Structure 1
């Protein structure tokens, strides 16, 4: 079975977390620009990560800190969870998608084949939106 979140339109952006949040806000009828999200969450910082074959310069704060600041300043709730059990997280993710809720997740970049990174270039702070799945292939979209 293939399921895609109803009326969700994926879009590109400038930075992974601001783009992911922009897509979620837009889906729920609150269009915010990436620049607005970045500013509201005080996203400016500097990090240099020496990955195996691709050094990365990042301009964001710690995982979940960005989301907490944004939620506080907008007076909204953003639930950030780090699952401890893969099977439970997998099932809960599918249930949320079946309820037509797109989900922001953090992914370890070398596991995203489309990025073409060396398998040793681990960085688990790359934000993406899940908006569907294919049971036959076992792939989330």
Structure 2
């Protein structure tokens, strides 16, 4: 039986906060870049907001921008190789070639079709989540080996399950067999991190303030806040679905709000050691507070579901407006750095 498994990759992997940033951190450690997951998120200018509403399928939200991996590769003067294709077998052959050369791959997967995620998705089976990331670490005749941010050990699933999770098409947020390979220079110049940090913060500010689409960045967050106000006019089943989706994307499966703000706060605290600017610690505290507000919003929505209320309560709408104001304030403070 042929087995291809990147043993060093498995050894350097550990659990983390988010599927994307943990996957990148694992790969960077494989290439001997000893960086924290928070630094990966910050240097990738990852903070943002994405809101997309799909006809008859609910909505998707995320607290990061769509180009974290590209931002990081560009900043480190590396290379991001990627592809997407409706044909699973075409992309699988490409991925096997990379693995056989000792090159790890980040793959997109649909969470509901991953056997080891079943216990997390019992109450959210109808939620589309096809942009989940894991590291493809190897394969053999019986299955494929994956590294996930919720598990420290390598996971093995059958070829059949893997193909289904990679190529399912019955959702608006489909993985479409997408994958990415991150190539970086031999060394990160950690002794001179200031230019990296300054550039990454500036890129994040540009993207969140001047997004290329109106449902991204601060404009996307503003739209999401406005649309939540209109949830009370929806039929009861749609209101309940929207409340449930918020909990899934913001806390349980995704990190649409709170955790990304928490990670960015920790990044700024780490960055303070390289920047001679007292304001950065204050902004870090603002993002830490924002993380708490996002988490509490999910608690509010969960409480409403448990009580089977028929409207979004005023406290939730007030909290959401507070979040928007705090997000704008934190961005304006970063502009002063």
State the TM-score, normalizing by the size of structure 2. 0.37
Aligned to 1:93: 95
**Which one of the candidate residues 39, 58, 63 is aligned to 1:59?**
63
**2:131 pairs with 1:125:** yes
The 8 Å contact of residues 22 and 32 in structure 1, kept in 2 or not, is answered as: yes
Aligned to 2:17: 14
The offset of 1:42, in angstroms, is 1.6
SS of corresponding position for 2:42: helix
Aligned to 1:139: 144
Deviations 1:1-45 (A, max 9, x none): 332113222321111111000011100111221111111122112
Aligned to 1:24: 27
When the two structures are aligned, how many residues end up with a matched partner?
134
Q: What is the root-mean-square deviation of aligned Cα atoms in Å?
A: 2.3
The offset of 1:57, in angstroms, is 6.2
Deviations 1:79-114 (A, max 9, x none): 122134211111111222122221111111111121
Structure richer in helix, relative to its length: 2
Q: Which has the higher contact order (CA 8 A, sep 6+)?
A: 1
**2:52 pairs with 1:46:** no
